[in-house]
Amino acid sequence: MKTHGIKWPLMSNNLSRSDLNSVIKLLENDDPKLTNGPAVKEFEEQWSRWLGVKYSVMLNSGASANDLTMLALREITGTGEVIVPALTWVSDIASVINAGHKPIFVDIDPKTLGMDADLILNSITPKTKAVFLTHVLGFNALSDKLLLELAKRDVILIEDVCESHGAKHNDQKVGTFGWASNFSFYYAHHMTTIEGGMISTNDFNLYEMLRIMRSHGMVREASLDKTRNFYAQKHPDLNPDFIFLYPSHNMRSTEINATLGLSQLKSLDKNISLRKANFGEFLKSIEGGVFRTDFNIEGNSNYAFTLVMKNPDFVLRDKIENVLNMKGIEFRRGLAGGGNQLRQPYLKTIEGIPTPDSLPNVDFIHHFSWYIGNYPNINSEIYIELKDLVERLKLA
């Protein structure tokens, strides 16, 4: 359909000229090391300080962060049940399945878009190995009740913070509460390394395992001589440079990605503040119409604007999409990951998967919600277009 409003893409490139210049400076070195090296290590350390954790391991994507975390969980606890949301990115669920765990799906709290705490707690069984919680589109999905009960029951918490850098719970950054937390630096996230991810933790033993598993499971990638020497003595028949401790993969990042991360990190807090301010203006723009505005925005670090209908209406839904298209506003229906993961074909062959309509809140989101672009250099005309959208729908 021909657009008549402003041109509003879903994503905008976060890279600045200074970010690109930092890469040029790296490449101008006489003999630059371009694979996992000193820039990766420095970025890991600076990221840990920014987040407020002891250790971080950089990877080639947020999806790899998911995979490696679930593989590490399997090595430490064995396989079992992992409680997951149906509103999340596909790699979260795929990582659980690929590591041999069984995903246990629960519904969401519509005000946070994260898993409902009571439903999580009701789903814990003796087979539960972890709760894999997603902070969706910048919302904080934690609660004091959930954290207290998980600690009391000695259940591992893993946080997916890929879309929510800088979001907070009780004024503490999410991603610092769990045993491990996963981040993505994909194009147009709060900060980007083009492709890239991070696992953060306060558990040194996990950190050491992740470093080894990131590089084919090679012991030589451990941070301590003590670790390397232990396995060299345990396996005297092997070359100490080639002791493969785990059946893992190559998930390393590059110096180019890390150099971009170091440069982008300088602007992260400022850009988070701009995104949060944008979200406030967005909510004002859609007041009084067919969309929900009663989200729990305390601690929010908005990634994308969330349009969620108040009531189910397929005719109105299609009208909304027609108007968005007419105005040149790009959108994605279903919010994170395209909506209800239980409707996706990759889950159809997994035994014991519930029906999509058994999680009514997620299924509503699947049919009657969208996200549209939010980025620091937003054009204020978007708010005028959204107000006009609300007025058009009032007259429908």
For residue range 262-274, list pLDDT tens digits in order.
Answer: 999 999 999 999 9
Please give the pLDDT value at position 1.
Answer: 35
Tell me which residue has tokens 């950089």: 58
Please give the pLDDT value at position 39.
Answer: 97
pLDDT band at 396 (very low <50, low <70, confident <90, very high): low
Mean pLDDT of 385-396: 83
**Which residues are CB-contacts of 275 (< 8 A; sequence separation ≥ 6)?**
138, 190, 301, 302, 303, 374, 375, 376
CA distance 358 to 364: 11
Mean pLDDT of 290-294: 95
Helix (H, G, I), strand (E, B) or coil at 115: strand
**Which residues are CB-contacts of 132 (< 8 A; sequence separation ≥ 6)?**
70, 82, 83, 84, 92, 96, 158, 160
Q: At what angle do helices 268-285 and 381-394 cross, to 10 degrees?
A: 30
Single-letter residue type at 301: S
Domain ranges of the chain: 17-265, 268-394
Instruction: Write the CA distances from 347 to 94, 105, 160, 342, 354, integer angstroms.
Output: 9, 12, 20, 7, 10
Q: Give the residue among 376, 349, 337, 299 at the shortest CA–CA distance from 14.
A: 376
Please give the pLDDT value at position 391.
Answer: 87
pLDDT band at 336 (very low <50, low <70, confident <90, very high): confident
CA distance 20 to 330: 27
Please give the pLDDT value at position 145.
Answer: 98
Statement: residue 294 has pLDDT above 50: yes
Tell me which residue has tokens 């499971």: 217
What does the pLDDT look like over 179-192, one tens digit per residue? 999 999 998 899 99
**Which residues are CB-contacts of 64 (< 8 A; sequence separation ≥ 6)?**
197, 249, 251
CA distance 347 to 90: 10
Give the count of beta carbons closer than 10 Å to the beta carbon of residue 152.
8
Q: Give the residue among 165, 393, 377, 188 at the shortest CA–CA distance from 285.
A: 393
State which fold the 17-265 domain adopts: Aspartate Aminotransferase; domain 2 (3.40.640)
Instruction: Write the CA distances from 209 to 153, 175, 386, integer angstroms.
Output: 25, 19, 48
DSSP labels, 343-394:
GSGGGTTSTTPPPGGGSHHHHHHHHHEEEEE--TT--THHHHHHHHHHHHHH
Mean pLDDT of 100-129: 98
Q: Are 212 and 219 in contact (CB under 8 A)?
A: yes
Return mean pLDDT, the chain.
95
Mean pLDDT of 330-335: 95
Statement: residue 32 has pLDDT above 70: yes
DSSP state of 338: G
What does the pLDDT look like over 224-251, one tens digit per residue? 999 999 999 999 999 999 999 999 999 9
CA distance 157 to 166: 18
Statement: residue 377 has pLDDT above 90: no
Q: Give the residue among 90, 46, 63, 85 at the shortest CA–CA distance from 268.
A: 46
| Equal CATH topology for 17-265 and 268-394 | no
Please give the pLDDT value at position 2.
Answer: 40
What does pTM read for this prediction?
A: 0.95
What does the pLDDT look like over 79-94, one tens digit per residue? 999 999 999 999 999 9
Statement: residue 10 has pLDDT above 90: no
Please give the pLDDT value at position 4.
Answer: 52
Mean pLDDT of 298-323: 95
CATH class as words, domain 268-394: alpha beta
Mean pLDDT of 127-135: 98
